Every structure is written in C-alpha cells, then in structure tokens.
Amino acid sequence: MKIKIISDSTGDLSPELIEKYDIAIVPLYVLMGDNMQKDGLEVTPEDIYAHVEKTGKLPSTSAPNLGDFQDEFKKWRDQGYDIVHFNISSDFSSSYQNACAAAEGMDGVYVVDTRNLSTGSGLVVLHGAELAQQGKSAAEIKAACDAMVDKVEASFVVDSIDYLHKGGRCSSVAALGANLLKLKPLIEVIDGKMKAGKKYRGNIDKVILNYVADKLRGRDDIDKHRIFITHTKCSPVTVQQVRGKINELYPGFEEILETTAGCTVTSHCGPGTLGILFVRK
C-alpha cells in the first residue's frame, strides 16, 4: 500500500522534515503589490519584511485554487498512491474547502482539517507521516489525525503589534497603548481560531521565557514525543534559551524541533514572534 502525505504550505515544516518524511507541499499564494507568488517557492518571509519596510503595507495570502489541488492529487493517484492531505484550519482559509472539492470524485483521497496553523498543523502532518511509515491505510491515518486535532496546543508571543495593526486586527488606539506599555500579546489557537490571550510586558527575551514557563510549569499532560519551537527572526541565543527552559521545566522530549515560521505567520505577526507547540496526551 502506497500512501502520500501532502500538506499546504502553512505547516511551517523545515526542508529537512519535508525531505525526511517525503511530504508533498501545495503552496498558498502571497500577494505583494501586483505580484502573486507561491508561498515558500517564489516568496519568503524575508521578502515580506522588505515589502512592509518599503511600503508600510502587509501582503495578503490566498488559498490554493481547485485546480492546484486537483493537479497535485491526480499526480500521485496516477502513480498508485492513496493520499492524506492536511490543511490549515478551515476558519483561517478556504484551503480546506478547495481541497475537499478537489477530492470529490477521486477515490483514495482523504482531507484533514487540522484546525490549526503553523507547526500546530505540522504536528498533525508529522503524525500522519509516521503512521504512513508504519503501514497504516489512508483511512486509518485520517481517523487517527482527526482524533489528534483537539489535542494540539499552539500559541505564540508577539514582540510588536505593528503587523497586527497593519492587518486590521487591532485599532490604532490599542496599538499605540500597547507599544507605549511595551505589551507583548499572547496569541492562541482555540477551536480552530486565533484568539488573544495574556498580555505580557517588558523585554521580549524575558517575556518569551515567562511565556514558556506559563505553558509548561506544573503540567503532566503533555505528550513527550515532540515539541516545536517556531519563530520569526528570533536570535539563536533566544531559541537556545527556550530550548533550555523546556528541558528544565518538562524534561524528556524525544524531539525539540526548531523551525522558522513561513509567510502566513510572518504576515500576521511580524518579526520577533515565538511559539512552542505540542500535543497533549
């Protein structure tokens, strides 16, 4: 039985993980000015930073269209693969709906709504890839991944709310107040939607470590298989401090994986954003 794991580009998996688990990627589109480019292939987060600095405007993103999914699914079906495809939460994008529409009329294509974004989705994708390596069927993989979705805990701390403001996600007054008070908002994914949580205050490096402590201290319900540190332009020193904090507060993870967030998280949150993402037991 041949199984192909496919994800849209919002899972923020590193090139090394994509190669290791032989995952195919269907890119979203990023519109900057008049240029529509493929996420991760034709445009990178660095391009977004440069665009915002030059124009003061955020790019917009759009889902892969029906034809994009049909072409990708047909390519693998023609080679004899059953397919399990993973999408960013259906509350964030029409990517899931378009993938489902493309799968209609095709045998052997299963679509999973991860109800998450970034490596919150990536955790579900990797679980599916591991099950495929174990010889599970596409139907079994979809069922197991659907059951996992509600156990994923995804959150980020944002250094500056400038990108949130430019994207219309907070008012000018709120942005001014937050910047004056040096507030660093927590963004959490709950029930497939992004929601604002605790507001931290102070230096971002200190805030990040406090955030990690809040998420891990006193817990005994976290699956120790893997945890992601996913960030946008955070320094290696900061990432290493987070890794140390994880090992201090919740030792024993089999994998602590670092990835750089892609265009979707970057365009929402801007530089200096960091999250830890993991699965509950």
- DSSP codes joined into one string, 146-192: HHHGGGEEEEEE-S-SHHHHHTTSS-HHHHHHHHHTTEEEEEEEETT
Q: What is the dihedral angle through the alpha carbons of 130, 136, 140, 145, rounded to the nearest 10 degrees?
A: 0
Spatial distance between the Cα atoms of 10 and 105, rounded to a whole number of angstroms: 26
Sheet containing 24-26: which strands, arranged edge to edge? 24-26, 3-8, 82-87, 109-113
pLDDT in tens, 16-50: 999 999 999 999 999 988 889 999 999 999 998 89
Is a pLDDT exceeding 60 seen at residue 204? yes
Confidence (pLDDT) at 82: 98
Q: How far apart are CA 251 and CA 176, in angstroms?
A: 39
Query: Residue 198: which pLDDT band, with cuts at 50, 70 and 90?
Result: confident
Q: Say which DSSP state 93 is in.
A: -
Q: Taking all residues of the chain, what is their mean pLDDT, rounded to a whole number?
A: 90
| Inter-CA distances, 60 with 28, 33, 34, 191, Å | 11, 9, 11, 23
- Encode pLDDT of 47-75 as tens digits: 988 998 898 888 888 999 999 999 999 99
Query: What is residue 11's DSSP assignment?
Result: G
**Does the pLDDT value for residue 274 go beyond 70?**
yes
Confidence of residue 201 (pLDDT cuts 50, 70, 90): confident
Nearest Cα residue to 73 out of 143, 176, 4, 168? 4
pLDDT at residue 270, rounded to an integer: 83
> What domains appear along the chain, each with residue ranges and CATH number?
3-149 (3.40.50.10170), 152-280 (3.30.1180.10)
pLDDT of residue 266: 85
User: Strand 183-190 to strand 222-232: parallel, antiparallel, or no bridges (unpaired)?
Assistant: unpaired
Read off the pLDDT of each residue in 209-215 and give the average, rounded to a whole number.
Answer: 97
Query: pTM of the prediction?
Result: 0.93
Mean pLDDT, residues 84-103: 96
pLDDT digits (tens, 9 = 90+) for 134-183: 999 999 999 999 999 999 999 999 886 665 544 444 434 343 344 444 67
CA angle 14, 134, 112 (to 5 degrees): 60
